[in-house]
Amino acid sequence: MPPLGIARGVWQIGGYGLSDDADCSVYLVDGGGELAVIDAGVGRSVPVLLANIEELGFHRSQVRLIVATHGHIDHTGGLAGLKAETGAVVAAHALELPAIQEGRPALTGAAYYGVNYEPVTVDLVFRQGEETTRVGRQELMVLHTPGHTPGSIVVLAECGGEKVLFGQDVHGPFDPAWRSDLHAWRRSMRLLLELEPDVLCEGHFGIFRPKEKVRRYIERCVAANGGW
């Protein structure tokens, strides 16, 4: 299955049917010659992710930024390999450093996937509730959305006139082993609704559009977890 076009300069390059089936959904953003990758999969499919980038006509050296939305291994297992192959900056929230940099097993969830996690240095550390960074000409808004994990983040980008939200693992799940917090998650879901994105690129359950379907999906997730 070839990479999936989502919006102008946005593709899904990994996830079920595109790379290893254990991978989260992995997204690519073109900032005009410089690329950002959102999450990195479980780690076994780094060659496939790179091949999908090159199938779109890019070179791996154009990947300048890899954003880890949180520390679970299905999102971070490929960080070390992608960083080694591209030389890109790895970015994540400070509260996810014990998982990403230290590789604490209870926080990475590596045992669920039967793979070993290779810790990686986070070069760009987000510490605020809202920050911005860039890849080429494309501005990326990074929002701290705790709940699934303490340092979960989402990325918002305006691409071709559409507000595209990379909201990985909006649905949960939740476990005290990785310090989930349902009260914080509900606040985060209210924030996502206030953003009114046109497109939601979720971590495991696909692409939602237009904004009415995005809203309904988030509200269904909240209802499934006890409501507001």
pLDDT at 1: 78
Confidence (pLDDT) at 210: 97
* Among the listed residues 138, 102, 105, the one whose alpha carbon sits nearest the alpha carbon of residue 121: 102
Residue 224, phi then psi, degrees to nearest 5: -70, -15
In this prediction, residue 214 carries a pLDDT of: 98
User: How far apart, in whole angstroms, are the C-alpha atoms of residue 217 and residue 166?
Assistant: 14
* Partners of residue 207 on adjacent β-strands: 201
pLDDT at 200: 98
pLDDT at 168: 82
- 9, 104, 220 from 27: Cα distances, Å: 10, 25, 24
**50: enclosing H helix or E strand:** helix 46-55
Select from 183, 190, 184 the least CA-distant residue to 215. Answer: 190
| Domain encompassing residue 114 | 4-224
Joined tokens for residue 132:
């911005």
Helix (H/G/I), strand (E/B), else coil: 208: strand
Q: Is 206 helix (H, G, I), strand (E, B) or coil?
A: coil
DSSP assignment of 111-169, as one string? HHHT--------SEEE-SSEEEEEETTEEEEEEE--SSSTT-EEEEEEETTEEEEEETT
Annotate 13-32 with b (16+ C-beta within 10 A) or e (fewer). bbbeebbbebbbbbbbbbbe
Count: domains in the chain: 1
CATH number (domain holding residue 94)? 3.60.15.10
Q: Which residues pair with 125 in a beta bridge?
A: 92
Per-residue pLDDT of the chain (228 residues; tens, 9 = 90+): 789 999 999 999 999 999 999 999 999 999 998 999 999 999 999 999 999 999 999 999 999 999 999 999 999 999 999 999 999 999 999 999 999 999 999 999 998 888 899 999 999 999 999 999 999 999 999 999 999 999 999 999 999 999 999 998 999 999 999 999 999 999 999 999 999 999 999 999 999 999 999 999 999 999 999 999
Q: Which helix (H) or strand (E) holds 80?
A: helix 79-86
CA–CA gap between residue 20 and residue 115 (Å, rounded): 13
Q: If DSSP codes are grouped into helix, strand and coil, which group holds residue 74?
A: helix
